[in-house]
Amino acid sequence: MYISSMMLGFPVKNLTPINNRSVSQPITPKLKQDTFVKSSQINFGSATSQSAPLKKLRNMIDPYSGITMLSSDELSMAEKTLDKCKDAQSAIKVLSRYTKNMLPVEKDMFDIFKAYSKQNPNGNFVDCLNGLRPEAHKKLMLEEFDILDKVDDMSRNASPDLALAVRHKTTKCRDVILTDNPMKPFKRKTLITSLDEIIPTKKEQKLFEKLKEQVEYLPTSGTSKNAFIVKYTDTSKPRSHEEIAKRLLRPSIQTAEHIHPDSLGGANALGNFILTSAGRNSERGNMPLTKFIQKYPDIPKYMQTHVEQIIDNINDGKLKGYEDYPFKLQKSLYKESKGSINLDLSNYSLES
């Protein structure tokens, strides 16, 4: 998975949109570079070249969430329409066509905006979020503290030296959260980076890795509506009504993901690629698929639906020359999930 982040409204690690555009040609040219994201690179290079046969597929189910993903062309068309929507009512009318494409947090925000638009048809999403910020900010702090508490609890099983080193890092984070300095906000990445400064003993390496995995559960705008509200009411990076509206759809764009991460030696081969939504692709990052399944237990079910769609597309002649892809996918997923995903291909044959 080689992901980075531009134009999609959330931080990503290994994202590859399914289109033919070059790096210098963003999906939505009218957007400011720093509209929603922290960095601005998308890889369109050789690392994902073998995923090209998948790019023509449309209306595919996201195997990580079960939503119907959007193609880059579909997203671009929706964004052009949303650019013309200057109030809540008109934006909701457009977004209503895409509710089946929205990931859970984005769908929750859509419902909030929809309720707001009924009371304030001429209002906008910025005013809506600003009204929600005070309460959302308090709830977000509690969500963050809950994860930090779990990290501290896990450190109780460590040696005194490691436990104190971890507590030193988490205490600093609590101080930042409570100080609430807009110029120095708490960032999950800061804690992750600071924990990398700790060098545990070989005996405690596994415990420390599990502890670091817990940090990945800190809320983000893609996993918590409170984090979404707080992020997009940040006065140091003001967002427009139109930008917020488009943010509800961007995580739904379909991307090619390395099943076994390329950063861990994953091959640039079709059998190591699967279409996933940008949001869940980003969220997984380099997380082991087994851990991601623990977080989202329905993944095996969605994977089966996804491969059945692949087979339908093959039967329709859309993957000519790649009829063995379902079998390659079956093998890759079984291995990466350590047997948790065992696709049923009993009704599919290369001779059929």
Tens of pLDDT along 90-142? Answer: 999 999 999 999 999 999 999 999 999 999 999 999 999 999 999 999 999 99
Ranges in the chain, pLDDT < 70: 1-47, 352
Instruction: Kindly state whether residues 268 and 341 are assigned to the same domain.
Output: yes
Domain of 1 in residue numbering reads as: 1-71+254-352
Instruction: Kindly state whether residues 329 and 258 are assigned to the same domain.
Output: yes
Instruction: Kindly state whether residues 204 and 154 are assigned to the same domain.
Output: yes
User: Cα separation of 337 and 113, whole Å?
Assistant: 38
In a domain, 258, yes or no: yes
Instruction: Kindly state whether residues 188 and 224 are assigned to the same domain.
Output: yes
In a domain, 93, yes or no: no
In a domain, 173, yes or no: yes
**Segment holding 131, helix H or strand E:** helix 125-155
In a domain, 118, yes or no: no
- Count of structural domains, the chain: 2
Q: What is the pTM of this model?
A: 0.85
> Angle at the Cα of 272 (from 271 to 275), degrees rounded to 5?
95
Instruction: Kindly state whether residues 258 and 346 are assigned to the same domain.
Output: yes
In a domain, 332, yes or no: yes
User: Cα separation of 170 and 32, whole Å?
Assistant: 34
pLDDT at 7: 40
In a domain, 25, yes or no: yes
Give the start-end residues of each E strand in 41-148. none
Last residue of a domain, one of 228, 246, 263: 228
Paired sense of beta strands 273-277 and 254-258, if any = antiparallel
Instruction: Kindly state whether residues 1 and 37 are assigned to the same domain.
Output: yes
Last residue of a domain, one of 186, 213, 228: 228
Helix (H, G, I), strand (E, B) or coil at 70: strand
State the angle between helix axes of 205-215 and 160-179 in degrees (0 to 180), rounded to the nearest 10. Answer: 10
In a domain, 244, yes or no: no
pLDDT at 48: 73
CA-atom Rg of the chain in angstroms: 21
Instruction: Kindly state whether residues 216 and 260 are assigned to the same domain.
Output: no
Helix and strand numbers, DSSP H then E, in the chain? 13, 2
Helix (H, G, I), strand (E, B) or coil at 274: strand
227-230 long-range contacts, CB within 8 A, separation 24+: 227/140, 227/143, 228/105, 228/109, 229/109, 229/129, 229/132, 229/133, 229/136, 229/137, 229/140, 230/133, 230/136, 230/137, 230/140
